[in-house]
Amino acid sequence: MTTATVTTDINIGIFKIPSNGQNMIMNFYAQKKNISVDFVIPEPLLSNQLETLLWCHKNYKFKKVILCSIHQLPNKKRYFKNFISKTQNIEFHFVLEGLKGKGKFFLKNCYIEAKKFADSKKIDTTNNNWIDFYDMFQKNYY
């Protein structure tokens, strides 16, 4: 069984996780799930297309790929379509979200979730306290 972990740029959605942190997260997950990792693939800085993964997949035919988050998926539609067409037979594990699955349907759902999260309204936390947040919650949900 050929398994790879993939490190990407430090910016992963709202998280900032350096590659050594990404490696620790994915290795702990693999150890906990009893998954043997065969390859560690570093994607180039500022890249979010997972092209190195696709390039390596041509030669090694990965069965499983572990990523820290769904936010590491290609975020542009044209790159994502190319990505899912070439990786639909790979079982993906997204550690921070606790998701695991394979196929176009699974990857599309992960892409949609990441997109919704990225497009959501950001709240400025620098000048607020917990009472302000509670008031915002009351206005928006009741």
Of residues 48, 61, 47, 73, the one with CA closest to residue 4: 61
**Phi, psi values for residue 64, rounded to 5°:** -135, 145
**Distance between start and end Cα atoms, the chain:** 51
pLDDT digits (tens, 9 = 90+) for 13-31: 888 999 999 999 999 999 9
What CATH architecture does domain 3-141 belong to? Answer: 3-Layer(aba) Sandwich (3.40)
Q: Which helix (H) or strand (E) holds 39?
A: strand 39-42
- pLDDT tens for 23-65 read 999 999 999 999 999 999 999 987 889 999 999 999 999 999 9
| Dist. CA 134–CA 142, nearest whole Å | 11
User: In 3-state terms, what secondary structure has residue 4?
Assistant: strand
Whether pTM > 0.85 for this model: the answer is yes
